[in-house]
Structure 1
Amino acid sequence: MKCRYCQTTFAIDYDEEDAAMDKSRIELQMQREKFEHQDKIRKDAKKSRLIACFTLLIVIFVIVAAYIINSKEEQKNQEDSASFEESKAASITYVSDFSEIPDAQFDEMQNLAMDAAQKGIDINTISGLTADTPELCASYLLTAKEGNGNRLVFVYKDTWHKNSDSIETYVFYYIKNLQLLSDGTVKYNVYVQNENSSFIWNNNFIDGEKSFDLCYTKAISSNADFNVKEK
């Protein structure tokens, strides 16, 4: 080999076997580095999986622990609520006799029932159908034989007219849960309820039963779980 600057000729001792060995060492080194890199990737992946599994276990533990704590708190709240309701129920005194209802409040409840009875008539007075003012027939106090609860029932007679025909029906309305207060007054639900059925008369729907006995059976006798007092 000649130097291009000084034109001196050199002899290079080139050994193909040494070159092959150098190449093999280089390839071996590259393979080792590749293996070490892949091994590092596998270890990192394994480490990541372990961390993920550990994190998942922690999350599951936290969720289960929170569920157990919430369940215990909910159970305690339910027990406290049940105890409160039992205590509240024990402290509530329900009206069991007409004498416990102040006259003024009885009149208020009777007026509420009367208004409901009149509305029942007003709804049906169409197409030539008219009716007299509802007539109060009887008042009953129903008290639960077991546990708490009561209802004040008013039975009315409705007289309907159409053309030259007339018919009498009997309806009932009631107020529930009359409770005695410490000042001697009565707390009650102002919503007036009824369970009156309807039938067709002279091509019109009218409410009630065709006899007092049928109305009494539906309003009073069918409530076998209650004691009955008439005013």
Structure 2
Amino acid sequence: MTTQPFTVADVMTKKVVAVLPGAEFKEIVTTMERCQVTAVPVVEGEGRVVGVVSEADLLLKEEFHDHRLGLVEQMRHLDATAKAGSRRAEDLMTSPAVTIAPEASLPQAARLMAAHRIKRLPVVDASGAIQGIVSRSDLLKVFLRPDDDLAAEVRHSVIEHLFPLSHREVEVRVDAGVVTLFGEVRDSALIPLAARLARTVEGVVDVRCDLTTQGRT
């Protein structure tokens, strides 16, 4: 059981596949294929992230391989055509890289991915050195928490906190991540709050609140 929100550090992949700025095109493609990843951070020095090369960056070479652009179209796609003619990571990468700190929350990571329309984020420390990588699938790991763990956390961090005098009259059941609260409590005004707080517990899919006030049905 945990009473602290999950952070990026809790779910990130710590073993990171990365390349150096001088990595050649074929080396990058081979690395991605061997490690079954769709993007790699580009690091220099003591692991400082300077960019990311994704499949989208590499596919530009194929897209413009036999397609000659006019001057206006070249200007419109200047960055893309430049990448299409490049063969080293430092020229192919998207830079600066969009990164996130290990202590960031999972909602922060999700919002950052959505805002930049990316599928993964390098996780870096205060100096910019890579610590791991977090992907969309990593953010879903919290939904794998056992139902018993979720029930214990909802009871401890929500029910016992809100209803110190009547918490023993409340039953918390969790089935496939869906929390059901039922029983009688003393303060009806806190019932909607209990449902809202239960929904904020990491890994909870939904909440059904059947709490009633003592002496009422």
Q: TM-score, normalised by structure 1?
A: 0.21
Higher relative contact order (CA 8 A, sep 6+): 2
More helix by share: 1
